[in-house]
Amino acid sequence: MKRRRIVILAALMACLPALVCAQSTLEKIDKSGVLIIGTRTGSPPFAYVNKNNEWVGFSIDLVEQAVSPVLNKKLNKQIKIEKKESTPATRIPLLTSNAVDLIAETMTDTQSRREQVDFSLTFFVTGAQFLVRKGSPIKGVQSIAGRRIAAQQGSTNAKIIRERVPTAKLVEFPDQPAAFQALAQKQVEAYTNDGIQLAGLRAKAPKPDDWAVVGEFYSYDPYGMAMRKNDSDFRHVVNVGLMDAISTGLYFKLYDKWFGSKGEVPYPLIPEGKRFLELQVVPK
């Protein structure tokens, strides 16, 4: 009896260090066998639910086909990928509360965000524009003063408009579908978001020709995958995954699948963009 009690106590004490020490993300994934990613459900073609009810997208493909093989090799086992929905307002809390391990959607890499989370390499470059009804007098950020503009709560675009054009009447919605609905019903005159997301929304609209994406990029939005701070091992794995995809050409194949001429949202890769991506790949 007494010996059994000692054995149980010893076993409990052996577990204590594991409970007390903060786990790194790789350890967490290794233990659970699952990589949980936060991604969007209404942002075509990065992450959305298509008409066959499948949760697909460019960001999701990058995780499943580029990051996953490197992760599997590092941990020496097949890691399952689980997807959870995230939005601009919820993605950082989801990450810091350990509910997800990686945010793979349309998150802009900014200096102030880097104070809360770490970012991977940039995997897409775009800027903010406006989605308007064809024929609208709005031509860009210079013509929105005093007008009703929809934006997403918690996005960088809303913040910039608030600072640059304080007279614009911003109406902030929790998600993209609600904002687009308001635009479709003429309750707002324009919807601002990153240009590529607007192109995706337009492509998926019932009558794409009714809409136009206008304006010069009024902000620079490099997309990166976000993860918890001080987790350089996991960040290295994600970066190596992206770098390998760029150097082997897998990235460009995926880019063509979603943004090529036959893709969901045609958006050709400009030469500077391609060069920028290639230069991010540091030698082995």
Partner 1 sequence: MSYRFDWSVLWSGPSGSWLLQGLVTTLQISGAGLALAIVLGIASGALRTATASPLRWLASAYVEFFRNVPLLVWMFFWYFGVPPLLPQTIQDWLLDRGVESWAGIFALGVYHGARFSEVMRAGIQSIPKTQLEAALSTGLSRVQAYRWIILPIALRLIVPPATNETVNLLKNSSVALTIGVAELTFQTRQIETYTAKAFEALIAGTLIYLLLCLVVSLFFGYIERRVAIPGLFVQRRLEEA
CB nearer to partner 1: give 72 or 187. 187
CB closer to partner 1, 24 vs 181: 181
Task: For the beta carbon of residue 162, count every other beta carbon within 10 angstroms.
Answer: 13
Give the count of residues interacting with partner 1 (CB under 8 A).
Answer: 22
In the complex, the smallest distance separating the C-beta of residue 71 from partner 1, rounded to whole angstroms, is 25
| Residue 189 tokens, joined | 């005159």
For partner 1, the closer of residues 62 and 179 by Cβ is 179
Please say whether the beta carbons of 74 and 82 come within 8 A: no
* Binding status of residue 181 toward partner 1 by CB under 8 A: yes
Asked if 89 is part of the footprint of partner 1 (rule: CB under 8 A), the reply reads yes
The residue type at 206: P
Stretch that binds partner 1, among 109-117, 195-203, 256-264, 271-279 (CB under 8 A): 109-117
For residue 275, which amino acid is it?
R
- The nearest distance, CB 168 to partner 1, in angstroms, is 14
Sheet strands side by side (includes 47-49): 42-43, 47-49, 55-56
**Tokens 């609600």 identify what position?**
178
Q: Give the one residue of 133, 139, 159, 236 binding partner 1; rule: CB under 8 A.
A: 159
Q: Under a CB-based contact definition with an 8 Å cutoff, are residues 48 and 41 in contact?
A: yes
DSSP 98: T
Spatial distance between the Cα atoms of 244 and 66, rounded to a whole number of angstroms: 7
What is the nearest approach in angstroms of partner 1 to the Cβ of residue 184?
9
CA–CA–CA angle 221, 203, 225 (5° rounding): 30
Judged by DSSP in three states, 66 sits in helix
Q: What gap in Å lies between CA 17 and CA 64, rounded to an integer?
A: 33
Of 163 and 272, the one with the shorter C-beta distance to partner 1 is 163
If binding is defined by CB under 8 A, does position 213 make contact with partner 1? no
Q: CB of 139: closest distance to partner 1 in angstroms?
A: 21
Options 61-69, 111-119, 133-141, 239-247: segment touching partner 1 (CB under 8 A): 111-119
- Phi, psi values for residue 122, rounded to 5°: -75, 130
Asked whether position 174 contacts partner 1 by CB under 8 A, the answer is: yes
> Is residue 171 a contact residue for partner 1 (CB under 8 A)?
yes
Q: Which of 185, 261, 272, 279 lies at the binding interface for partner 1 (CB under 8 A)?
A: 185
Closest to partner 1 by CB, 133 vs 257, is 133
> Do 172 and 152 contact (CB within 8 A), yes or no?
yes
Q: Which residues bind partner 1 (CB under 8 A)?
A: 22, 88-89, 92-93, 112, 115-116, 148, 150, 153-154, 159, 171-174, 178, 181-182, 185, 187
